[in-house]
């Protein structure tokens, strides 16, 4: 009889430990999910704060002036603008212009020059 109680006791103990183990595992898994969600919430809060700061910045007069200068080329009335061009760009534009001058000649003149003007005999 004692042996039967001992067997039943061991079975109940194993059953209870399995239930406790499942409960601990579910709690651990839930805690991991909560940690992940908390980090996502923190990330979204930081991103939201950054976007709020951008909205405030975009509404400032200094930003509006900066964008008007950059996109529209506007200047203040008392301001003087100096345009500094680079030398290689001017040479590049000149070579493109000379190439387009040749193309502007009518086709019959180009053929005439090809057959008669360029003969080196």
pLDDT tens profile 50-99: 999 999 999 999 999 888 888 887 888 888 877 777 666 656 666 655 55
pLDDT category at 4 given cuts 50, 70, 90 is: confident
Model confidence, pTM:
0.47
The string of pLDDT tens digits covering residues 87-101 is: 666 566 666 555 555
The set of residues, in sequence order, having a beta carbon less than 8 Å from that of 69 and lying 6+ positions away, is 75
Element of type H or E holding 50: helix 2-58
- The length of the chain in residues reads 121
Q: Report the first-to-last Cα separation within the chain, whole angstroms.
A: 131
- Distance, in Å, from the CA atom of 52 to the CA atom of 58, rounded to the nearest integer, reads 10
Cβ(42)–Cβ(48) under 8 Å? no
């Amino acid at each position: 009889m004692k042996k039967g109680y001992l067997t039943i006791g061991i079975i109940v103990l194993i059953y209870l430990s399995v239930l406790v183990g499942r409960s601990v595992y579910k709690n651990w898994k839930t805690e991991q999910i909560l940690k992940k969600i908390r980090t996502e919430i923190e990330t979204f809060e930081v991103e939201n704060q950054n976007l709020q700061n951008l909205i405030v910045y975009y509404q400032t007069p200094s930003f509006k002036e900066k964008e008007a200068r950059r996109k529209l080329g506007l200047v203040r009335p008392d301001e003087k603008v100096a345009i500094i061009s680079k030398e290689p760009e001017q040479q590049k534009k000149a070579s493109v212009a000379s190439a387009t001058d040749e193309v502007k000649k009518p086709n019959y003149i180009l053929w005439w020059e090809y057959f008669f003007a360029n003969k080196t005999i």
